[in-house]
Chains A and B, each alone.
Chain A
Amino acid sequence: MYTELIKPENLVYTKTKVMTDKELSYCPGCGHGTAHRIIMEVIEEMGIQGETIGVAPVGCSVLAYEFMNIDVQQAAHGRAPALATAIKRLWPEKYVFTYQGDGDLAAIGTAETIHACNRGENIVIVFINNGIYGMTGGQMAPTTLPNMKSSTSPYGRDETEMGHPLKMTELVANLPGVYYVTRQAVHKPSHVRKAKKAIRKAFENTAKKTGVSFVEIVSNCNSGWKMRPTDANQWMEDNMFPYYPLGDIKVDGLFVNK
């Protein structure tokens, strides 16, 4: 190994200092860690560590405040957009973002999400969608795919009985208060880099006071899906992406023509 290269001037990548030194509580291979890190990298690059306030959800990422070295408030289950609204209105010059999973944003918090988006609050909503309630043991969520097995749908999700997966991102894109809507992933380097650009754009949008920027990150839950992390990533590509296609949906307030 070229150990002589280990010098500060040769450094090309290391974990950002806007993450704390705490060990992440997430399972091996969970997309939450990468999602946390790219948000913190964007904050570091924009130099807004002191001007950013995050809102943590309930779910696996409830402990986000332990890992993000910024001001974070933890909200009641699903109420992160409501709390972010209050924070942003009291400190209009701050960058405010919520970080929520699908159980939080698309189930118990649907009303708060829809209304915060409809009011066009100048916040960033980062939505981690893994199609399952990961923290509580892999129960079926509104975003669970058709025929996908979970601990509360052991024979697969039957759409006639359990309804259809909720495409929250497409839903909020139709609201006029929403300025930027995109769906990304963080399981491969190219996806991570694209997702980081999307988050950067979302944070820059909040300074323009143009409305909500909504970034969905399709992620894995290898413990909930009961797969190895690499298998879970492959399963996500094969099954999640056809239903939740990646890419921009709405940019600068206008729908992207596909």
Chain B
Amino acid sequence: MAKVKGVIVVDTERCKGCEVCIPVCPVNVIAMSPKVNGKGYNYMEQIAEECTGCSNCAVVCPDGVITVYRSK
């Protein structure tokens, strides 16, 4: 089976840095950025390529800032 590849796009200006998405990632490819957005929150970002596009992070994000793409 071909490896499933995914990528997330984060609306960083809307992320409130609650970190709820961090523990739910099964492959640990998301982390909080040391940078802050316009509101002063550290935002989440993808840090490695192993994302499987499972959309767990997007499903729990209270602010709906994450968009998930996955290879078909």
Residues of B within 8 A of A (CB): 5-7, 9, 14, 16-20, 22-24, 41, 46, 49, 51, 53, 55-56, 58-72
Q: From residue A106, how far is it (CB to closest CB) to chain B in Å?
A: 22
Q: Are B58 and A5 in contact (CB under 8 A)?
A: no
Contacts of B55 in A (CB 8 A): 12-13
> Known interface pairs A19-B64, A24-B62, A192-B59. Does A10 touch B71 (Cβ–Cβ under 8 Å)?
yes
Confirm or deny: A7 has a beta carbon within 8 angstroms of a beta carbon on chain B: yes
Cα separation A9 to B71 with both chains bound (whole Å) = 9
Q: Are A14 and B49 in contact (CB under 8 A)?
A: no
Q: Please tell me the number of chain A residues within 8 Å of chain B, measured between CB atoms.
A: 38
Q: Are A13 and B68 in contact (CB under 8 A)?
A: yes
The residue that A192 contacts in the complex, of B16, B51, B60, with Cβ under 8 A, is: B60
Contacts of B14 in A (CB 8 A): 23
> Known interface pairs A29-B18, A229-B20, A230-B20. Does A188 touch B60 (Cβ–Cβ under 8 Å)?
yes
The residue that A5 contacts in the complex, of B6, B18, B24, B61, with Cβ under 8 A, is: B6
Tell me what chain B mostly uses at the interface: helix, strand, loop, or mixed.
Answer: loop
Cβ-closest chain B residue relative to A1: B7
Contacts of A14 in B (CB 8 A): 58, 67-68
Cβ-closest chain B residue relative to A33: B62
Q: From residue B53, how far is it (CB to closest CB) to chain A in Å?
A: 6
Cβ-closest chain B residue relative to A4: B7
Q: From residue B47, how far is it (CB to closest CB) to chain A in Å?
A: 9
Q: Are A5 and B66 in contact (CB under 8 A)?
A: no
Q: From residue B25, how far is it (CB to closest CB) to chain A in Å?
A: 10
11 new A-B contacts, CB < 8 A, other than A12-B69, A37-B62, are A2-B71, A5-B7, A11-B69, A13-B55, A13-B66, A14-B68, A26-B63, A28-B41, A33-B62, A33-B64, A37-B64
Contacts of A230 in B (CB 8 A): 18-20, 22-23
Confirm or deny: A131 has a beta carbon within 8 angstroms of a beta carbon on chain B: no
Q: Are A193 and B59 in contact (CB under 8 A)?
A: yes
Contacts of B17 in A (CB 8 A): 28
4 nearest A-B residue pairs (beta carbon): A33-B62, A29-B18, A15-B64, A28-B16
Contacts of B60 in A (CB 8 A): 34, 186-189, 192
